[in-house]
Chains A and B, each alone.
Chain A
């Protein structure tokens, strides 16, 4: 948001200089922008990074199984960290140090996870990674809901995704029922995220659906997975473009809905390409990706920088993939790119004319208004 705020400020200065608005109005607008788009503070970002490092150090310290400290002392130490973390986080929150409070809560939740791992280590429990992860996830989600914490909601979402990844990739025979369980768990965290106002958690959870589809597809390469995922992605994209208010109200994804939808579509198309890699279907799947990318760019690329970047990156990656897969038939590849290139060039010419026309119309409308 920093870039948006600074861009608007530049524009306001320009308008004031050009005499379009008075300096009084200009400073009022600038103050309003500053108030609503404070952006992430540097201190908050550093504190978040520090919490990740501290969390990792706690987990690795426990993993080292250092015998100099008796294990009961280690357990007591973790219990103390849990208690001090939650309570000091609450105190910091009340003293208006919001981010530091959240960081303290994250450390407490990580200590909870470390204590679960330590218990497994103390009693040589094997084969329960998924159980440990789910216990950690539920404990963290509970804390997030009770304390209304944004960071803990994100942590709970990440743990749910870790659980899903381990559980689904290790149990091919139970993949379907585990996936349904994940949808239940994910929806619960999604619901908590409304209460805790954590849009990041919602975005992460939506992205995880692509991962879920992909893992299931690896077990059983059925075309149904890319169809459902791709269909869902296209639906989310179109809804975000045409009904942004609806998407914001019901899914709470802000302006990221179109990017998330496109991501799901790309993952699905990638799966279809994998499935068809040695057949003619590959060409169709690749064409679908290119058409999807161009379509997304046309519908939403103008106003959405992250979407543009996603399109550029996928476009280049897709070119490389098509080239590598079809390298056996260079002529075929060249032909595909030639046709694609000509179509795009024609499209570009058509669109730039169209855009110029729109600009012209707007200018005229402005003229009448004056």
Chain B
């Protein structure tokens, strides 16, 4: 390898890796900017992540979906982890609640103006006697500055907390802000 080539290749590798990262960041920012906004009620589970710092684990009012909402599970489901789509509509006190759900592909009829389809992953097994399906949307963590995790978790146990979530057209979701009643605690900048 000649002198010039190795340096050019090194530049190319750096550029490739930086582009991949920038693409991820821009994709995430576009969900925040353009996604439909929904409000979910939230309760904490427990914190800590070694590699990426402290976080609070969150569970939502849409984390457990009643089995009967899955219209296509009547004919028997599977036991593997699958992508699921959950249709939400604003309910009491402005909190969005599930009204229908499907496994594998989005619901056949498109959402109405005040409805949003959110995408998640679930382990679906209708043969067991479970009445709800636990769905994970990829927004179950809220990263906080080191040392603040425990405090937030304590406070979350006291009041009624809500999270505003941006949902993209393909169902990908992204936490926008964390609220204690009407007071906003944290808001996410685009970048």
Contact = CB atoms under 8 A, between A and B. Distances in A.
Interface of A: 59, 62-67, 71-72, 75, 79, 82-83, 85-87, 89-91, 93-94, 108, 112, 115-128, 135, 139, 142-143, 146-148, 171, 173-174
A83 B18 contact: yes
A65 B9 contact: no
A171 B50 CA distance: 20
Given A125-B141, A127-B140, A174-B80, A87 B10 contact: yes
Given A124-B175, A148-B1, A86 B141 contact: no
B140 A126 contact: yes
Contacts of A66: 145-146
A121 B24 CA distance: 13
Nearest to A70: B189
Nearest to B57: A126
Interface residues of B, number: 47
B47 to A, nearest CB: 12
A124 B139 contact: yes
A278 B9 CA distance: 59
B28 A86 contact: no
A135 to B, nearest CB: 7
Nearest to B3: A94
B53 A112 contact: no
Contacts of A71: 189, 191
B185 interface: no
Task: For the complex of A and B, list the 8 residue pairs with the smallest distance between their C-beta atoms, beginning with the closest.
Answer: A126-B141, A90-B10, A65-B53, A86-B10, A63-B53, A126-B140, A123-B28, A86-B14
A116 B51 CA distance: 11
B144 A65 contact: yes
Contacts of B49: 63
Given A63-B50, A117-B52, A119-B25, A174 B81 contact: yes
B21 A119 contact: yes
Interface in B135-180: 136, 138-146, 174-175
A65 B145 contact: yes
Contacts of A125: 28, 138-139, 141
A72 B191 contact: yes
Nearest to B136: A127
A63 B51 contact: yes
A346 B81 CA distance: 57
Contacts of B1: 148
A330 B1 CA distance: 67
A108 B13 CA distance: 10
A271 B12 CA distance: 46
